[in-house]
Amino acid sequence: MADGFRLTRRWAALALLAPPLAVFLMFFVAPLVSLFWVSFHAPSQTELFGAELTVEHYATIFTDPFYHTIILRTLSTGGVILLLCLVLGYATAYVLAPLPQRQRLFLLLLLVVPLMVSNVVRAYGWIAILGRQGLINSLLRDTGLIDRPLLLLNSFEAVSFGLMTILLPYMVISVANALNAIDVQYREAAQSLRANPFKTFVHVTWPLSSPGVASGMLLVFLLTLSAYVTITLLGGPRMKLLVSLVFDAVGAFRWPLAAAISFVLLALALAISALILVVLRPQRVQGRG
Amino acid sequence: MTDPTADAGPPVDVRFTGVTKRYGKAVAVKALSLDIPRGSFFSLLGPSGCGKTTTLRLIAGFETPDEGDVFIRDRRVTETAPYRRDFAMVFQNFALFPHLTVEQNVGFGLRMSGVDRQARSRAVASALEMVKLSGFAERYPKQLSGGQQQRVAIARAIVMKPAVLLLDEPLGALDKNLREAMQVELRSLQRELGITTVFVTHDQEEALTMSDCVAVMRDGVIEQLGPPREIYERPATEFVATFLGASNMIDARVVEQGAQASLVEAPCGRFSVNGSYPQGTHLRLAIRPERIVLAGNGQDLPLPAIVRDVVYRGMTAHLFLECQGQQLLAFIQNTDQAALDWASGQTVTVALPPESLVLLDKGGAARG
C-alpha cells in the first residue's frame, strides 16, 4: 500500500514536471545545442550555414584585435555599471531599508516607475539631454562656457550612464529586501560585542546582505550584457559592444559568426556570474561555509 | 538607596538614578532608581509591557533615557554608545551570526576589541569548555540544536568577562525540560564566575529559582524588590501577590486592637492577625493557598467552610472552598494516603494562621 502510494506520488511529480521540462528542452536546450553546432560551420550565402566544419569564427574572435577591443569594452562597461549600481544602489537601499513599511514600499514603487517607460523612449530622452542640440550643450553654450557642442553621445560614458540608470532599481530593490530581512538583533549583538558602527557593517550587515547584493549584481550584469536598444541609441556606430556585433553579423548573413559571438557572450556571462558568487559567497548566510 | 548600610555592602555594578523612558506618550520606565550589587543575580520580573526589557536595553545602551542617569561600575554611561559599554548580552533568540562558525561567533567580541589571534583562540576554547561545547567549534549555528545555540550565546557573552551580563528571556525559546536544565546550569555558571547578571523574565518560577534579588515590575515601576523568598512570602501589593503564584485576597476590618495581634472580621468570620491596628481599620490581607490549614468537620478550626470543587494535581490537590460567601483556594499536599480525600459538598473547617497572613499596601503604590 505505502509503496504503491509512494510510486503514485513519484509518477504524479513526474507528470507535473513533464510539461515545463519539455518546453525547456524544446525551446531552450535544443536551440542552444543547435546554435553551438552552427557556430562551428563555415558561412553560406544561401543556407543558414555551410557544410564545412571549422573553428575559424572562434579563432577570429580570439585573435582579431578588433574583437579584443570589443570584449574588453563590454567587460569594462559592465564593470563600471556594476560598480556604480553597487555603490549607489547599496547606499539607497541602506537608507530605504530601516524606513517604516509603507514609506519604504512607496519609495521602492517610485524607483520602479521609470521601468514602466520603454527603453527606447528613455534612450531618446537621454539623446534629448546629451545630444549636440541637447539640453546640456545648449545650457553650456548659452552661458558661454563652450563655443562648439561637446560630443557627449556615442561614448562609453553615455552608454554606461544610460544603462546604469535603467538597471539601478534592480539593485536597490534586491539589496533593500535583503537588508530589510536582517534581524535588528544581529546588529545589536555586534554592538554588544564591541563592534562600532563601521565594524558592525563590515562584519555583520554586509555579509548578511550578500545574497541580495549577489542577486542584484547578477541581474545588473546579465541585463547589461543583453541590453541592445540603449547601447545602439546612446552608443551609436562608435561605441559598439558584443551584442551589437551579434546583430551586425546577423545583418551580414554570417549566422555561424553570430552564433560564435553569442557563445563568447554566454561564456563571459557565466564567468562573471561565477566570479560574483565566489567573491560574495552569498551561501554563507545559510551557515554552511 | 537611602539605606546607610549600603556603602558597606559590595560595590554596585549597575545604578539607575531617576531614569524615565518614554515612547511617544507611553511611559515605558518611570523614574526608576536601582542599585545592582556586584556578583548578584538580579531578575526583572513582570508581564509583557511592564518595562523590564526597556530597563535592560537602557543598561545596554540600545535605548537612551529621557531623564535620569545610568551607571555601569561608577561610570556614567547615559549617552555612551553600546559598543563602548562594559556589558555582554544573551538575546532572546540568541542572535548568533549565521555566517560565522561557533568559534568565530564566540571570538567575535574579542576580535572587535583587538585581542590577538592566539589569546583569542585560548579564551574561546576555555569558554566553549565551560559551556561543554568543546567539539563544536567548527560548526555553524544552523547545525546546532536550540540548547547548543543557547550555550554558544552564553559562551559568546561570558568570554568578554563583562562588568554585567544581560539576559533577555534567554530560556524562552527552549522547551520545558531543557529550560529547567539550563536554569540550573546558568545559575551555577553565574556563581562560578561571580558575574553580575541582570535577567529579564515573565516566568515567576524562573525568577524565584535563579535570583538573588527579584524586582517585580508593572507599568514602568518596580512594585517590589527583594530576595525571592521575601517577594513570594511577603508580597507588598496585590499585584505582586497574584503575579507570583496564587493568592487569596481577604478584606477585613479590625474589631479588637491588641498589643501584639488584632482581631479582625471578614466575610468568612473572625480571626486574628499579627500587629496592632486601631479598631475600625480596613485591612487588605493575602494568604497563599498552601498556607491555609484545613480539617474535617467537628474538629476545632475556627472557620467553617464548604468544599465546592477538588482538582487533583498529583503532588497537590487544589480545593475551592466557600467560607460564608468568601471564596478561598487551598493547596493540600499529597503527604499520605488520606491527605487528598476531600469531596465536593463536604463541610470542613479552616484556619488562617496569623503568621501566614500578609498585609498588602492599599493603593499598590511603588516601593523600592
Q: What's A277's domain CATH number?
A: 1.10.3720.10
Residue B364 is predicted with a pLDDT of 41
Secondary structure class of B216 (helix, strand, coil): strand
CA–CA distance, A114 with A111 (Å, rounded to integer): 7
Torsion on CA atoms A217, A221, A223, A228, rounded to nearest 10: 150
Task: Return the number of other C-beta atoms located less than 10 Å from residue B337's C-beta.
Answer: 7
According to DSSP, the β-strands at B164-168 and B87-90 are parallel
Q: State the amino acid at position B281 in one-letter form.
A: T
**CB A193 to CB B62 under 8 A?**
no
Task: Return the number of other C-beta atoms located less than 10 Å from residue B203's C-beta.
Answer: 16
| A123 belongs to a structural domain | yes
Chain B residues near residue A181 by CB distance under 8 angstroms: none
Residue A171 is predicted with a pLDDT of 96
B83, B104, B105, B159: which to substitute to probe chain A, counting the most A Cβ within 10 Å? B83
CA–CA distance, B89 with B350 (Å, rounded to integer): 49
CB neighbour class for B3 (10 Å; exposed up to 12, middle 13-18, buried from 19): exposed
**CB A188 to CB B82 under 8 A?**
yes
Asked if residues A162 and A234 have their Cβ atoms less than 8 Å apart, the reply is yes
Residue A147 is predicted with a pLDDT of 85
| A232 belongs to a structural domain | yes
| A243 belongs to a structural domain | yes
Residue A146 is predicted with a pLDDT of 86
Q: Which residues pair with B44 in a beta bridge?
A: B200, B215
Per-residue pLDDT tens digits for A43-101: 888 888 888 899 999 999 999 999 999 999 999 999 999 999 999 999 999 999 999 99
What are the cell numbers at A120? 527606447
Residue B227 is predicted with a pLDDT of 96
Secondary structure class of B157 (helix, strand, coil): helix
Nearest to A193 among B108, B140, B142 (CB): B108
Nearest to B99 among A193, A196, A208 (CB): A208
CA neighbor of B331 nearest in space, from B320, B348, B341, B318: B318
**CB A188 to CB B60 under 8 A?**
yes
Q: What is the DSSP letter of B143?
A: G
Residue A288 is predicted with a pLDDT of 59
Residue A289 is predicted with a pLDDT of 46
Q: pTM, whole model, 2 decimals?
A: 0.84
Residue A2 is predicted with a pLDDT of 57
**Length of chain B as a residue count:** 368
According to DSSP, the β-strands at B261-266 and B316-323 are unpaired
Asked if residues A133 and A127 have their Cβ atoms less than 8 Å apart, the reply is no
CA–CA distance, B296 with A223 (Å, rounded to integer): 88
Residue B173 is predicted with a pLDDT of 77
Chain B residues near residue A284 by CB distance under 8 angstroms: 99
Asked if residues B144 and B153 have their Cβ atoms less than 8 Å apart, the reply is no
Question: For chain A, what is the domain count?
Answer: 1
CB pairs under 8 A between A and B: 76
CA–CA distance, A156 with A158 (Å, rounded to integer): 6
Output the tens digit of pLDDT for each of chain B's 368 residues.
Answer: 444 444 567 899 999 999 999 999 999 999 999 999 999 999 999 999 999 999 999 999 999 999 999 999 999 999 999 999 999 999 999 999 999 999 999 999 999 999 999 999 999 999 999 999 999 999 999 999 999 999 999 999 999 999 999 999 988 878 888 888 889 889 999 999 999 999 999 999 899 999 999 999 999 999 999 999 999 999 999 999 999 988 999 999 999 998 899 999 999 889 999 999 999 999 999 999 999 998 876 667 788 899 999 999 888 899 999 998 899 999 998 888 777 788 889 888 899 999 999 999 864 443 33
| A199 belongs to a structural domain | yes
Residue B365 is predicted with a pLDDT of 40
Residue B84 is predicted with a pLDDT of 96
CA neighbor of A194 nearest in space, from B150, B88, B125, B64: B88
Enumerate residue ranges in chain A where pLDDT < 70. Answer: 1-4, 288-289
| A116 belongs to a structural domain | yes
SS (H, E, C) B266-327: ECCEEEEEECCCCCCCEEEEEECHHHCEEEECCCCCCEEEEEEEEEECCCEEEEEEEECCEE
Full domain range(s) for residue A238: 61-285
Chain B residues near residue A193 by CB distance under 8 angstroms: 83, 88, 108-109, 112, 156, 160
**CB B160 to CB A191 under 8 A?**
no
| A13 belongs to a structural domain | no
CB neighbour class for A103 (10 Å; exposed up to 12, middle 13-18, buried from 19): exposed
**Which residues of chain A are at the B interface, by a Cβ-Cβ cutoff of 8 Å?**
183, 185-186, 188-196, 199-200, 203-204, 207-208, 284-289
What are the cell numbers at A220? 545588473
Phi-psi region of A154 (alpha: psi -120 to 50; beta: other; left: phi over 0): left
Q: What is the DSSP letter of B247?
A: -
| A51 belongs to a structural domain | no
A-chain residue closest to B97, CA distance: A186
Longest alpha-carbon distance in chain A: 89
| A183 belongs to a structural domain | yes
Residue B7 is predicted with a pLDDT of 55
Asked if residues B39 and B73 have their Cβ atoms less than 8 Å apart, the reply is no
